[in-house]
Structure 1
Amino acid sequence: MARYIFRMECKKGSEEEYKKRHEAVHPELLKALKEVGISNYSIFMDGNQLYAYMEVDNFHEAMERMESNPANIKWQTYMSDILGMDNGNNPKMHLIDQEVFHLE
């Protein structure tokens, strides 16, 4: 299983709302994440910067499958008012996939 990290950001002033919404992630989204093979998914926050960690065999394939998933579309719409978004109205994500050290 490969490990991936990506960076996003929530809009300044939305940090507490971001945390609040993640206390009640939609169950259908959690199911969808597992169905595409994502596990050990964590999000860390530093100010308004978000760092997400996940394990998945193929990050790009999983993200492609999630794009069309109704639960994900609903969640992304719900989060769009507090996340930094790109021109396509998707969360700005910067993938960090070059792992240089791992201790198990």
Structure 2
Amino acid sequence: MRFAFRMVLKPGCEAEYEKRHREIWPEIVKLLRESGVSNYSIFFDKETNYLFAVQEQGGLSSQDLGSEPVIQKWWAYMADIMETNADKSPVSIPMKEFFYMP
């Protein structure tokens, strides 16, 4: 199942966001893969500061992953450069798929 969502990057934080994802913690990647997440991409719209993410999910939902300590630690690490909820999770707006061409 493909899942897409939108997040918001704080103005001026594009380079830092890219840097942190180039150096993503191996335990995050391991957990995502073990949970069935694959083909995960994040795109950036400079005009709006929106981050657009697409991933395939074959296991746990993103809500299930949110209870994992390493995910909570990552959220706290990223909170200074993204719009977040009270629990430090990124504000994520699910997006409906209208078209897919395999």
**Could you say whether these structures have the same fold, taking a TM-score greater than 0.5 normalized by the shorter chain as the test?**
yes
Consecutive unaligned residues in structure 2, runs of 5 or more? none
Report what 1:54 is aligned to.
55
Q: Which amino acid aligns with 2:69?
A: P
Identity of paired residues, percent? 40
CA distance in 2, matches of 1:62, 1:100: 21
CA distance in 2, matches of 1:69, 1:83: 20
CA contact 1:37–1:62 (8 Å) conserved in 2: no
Alpha-carbon RMSD across the aligned residues, in angstroms, is 1.4
1:16-95 equivalence runs, <5 A: 16-47=15-46, 48-57=49-58, 61-95=60-94
Consecutive unaligned residues in structure 1, runs of 5 or more? none
CA distance in 1, matches of 2:53, 2:97: 14
Length-normalised TM-score, structure 1: 0.87
User: 2:61 is paired with a residue of what secondary structure?
Assistant: helix
Length-normalised TM-score, structure 2: 0.89
CA distance in 2, matches of 1:70, 1:35: 15
CA distance in 2, matches of 1:24, 1:89: 20
CA distance in 2, matches of 1:67, 1:88: 10
